[in-house]
Amino acid sequence: MTKTRVIAALIMAPVAICAILLLPTQWLAAAAALVFLTGLWEWLKLTHVDGLPRTVLLVLNLLLMVLLVWASAGSTVLFQLATLVGVGFWLLALLWLRFFNFGAHEESGSRTLKLAAATLAIIPAWTALVLIHAGEPNGNRWLLTALATVWAADSGAYFAGRTFGKHKLAPRISPNKTIEGLLGGLLAGLLVAGVFGWIAGVQASQLGGLMLVAAIAVLASVLGDLFESLLKRHAGAKDSGNVIPGHGGVLDRIDGVLAALPVFALGKEIFGF
């Protein structure tokens, strides 16, 4: 499984990197929308929404993306507000993880909250991605920095956890995650953030801010991963899908990104790098 996982990553990574670096923002936004909406489709499946309602909810989220683009009319204010909403949602998600049995049963109220959570996770992550990529100068490099930080943290946590993992991080939600894996992922994420931040043009005076933002983004990515694990545990599912060999579904790959991108976009604005 590890070999399959690595091979799949080696195929996906160059495609993603080329898209980030070479596509104009509007085309990258469209490609990212396709990926994120695929993740949303899997999220809806985990909440046991099928058939026509699932399609309708997907289309409504797509229309919300289109509406945001149309209403922005050259301004980034709506995208910034949506990104802030995403940061707020993930702070609330911490509370949800604390009471992990909340929503475990299929009452209409809990299902509605999970459906709302899907939009509050998917849309702000997409707006954050667009904001970072459209930023000047070197927005494409900064988006690559943000994503590479999350990817490195995820891989670092995986291998550090397999090698050194002894102390469980959240055994009731995700039994395989360990504190040692978290620390390994944090270290890997910070190293990659420093290297890619240098490529993106970070100034020496901004390096401390970048490291702080990268650290919080890595922790946010763990939060996103745990929240998806919570959804899967409630649904009795191992993976969100099976479209990516060794990785599961699309949502399994972007769960950390959904939480990390709004944090990184906000931090980038605050520290001005």
- Per-residue pLDDT tens digits for 80-113: 999 999 999 999 999 999 888 887 776 657 778 9
Identify the DSSP state of 103: T
Do residues 152 and 256 make contact, with C-beta atoms less than 8 angstroms apart? Answer: no
Q: What is the per-residue pLDDT for 191?
A: 98
Q: What is the per-residue pLDDT for 102?
A: 80
pTM: 0.92
- For residues 107 and 110, give the distance between their C-alpha atoms in angstroms, rounded to a whole number: 6
Do residues 196 and 151 make contact, with C-beta atoms less than 8 angstroms apart? Answer: no
Q: What is the per-residue pLDDT for 151?
A: 94
Report pLDDT digits (tens) over 174-219.
Answer: 989 999 999 999 999 999 999 999 999 999 999 999 999 999 999 9
Number of domains in the chain: 1
Q: What is the per-residue pLDDT for 203?
A: 93
Q: What are the beta bridge partners of residue 174? A: 170
R_g over Cα of the chain: 18
In the predicted model, residues of the chain with pLDDT beneath 70 are 1-6, 8-9, 106-108, 242-247
Q: What is the per-residue pLDDT for 106?
A: 67
Q: What is the per-residue pLDDT for 75?
A: 87
Do residues 222 and 256 make contact, with C-beta atoms less than 8 angstroms apart? Answer: yes
- For residues 29 and 198, give the distance between their C-alpha atoms in angstroms, rounded to a whole number: 25
E strand spans, the chain: 168-170, 174-178
Identify the DSSP state of 9: H
Domain span at residue 42? 2-271
Percent of the chain with pLDDT over 90: 77
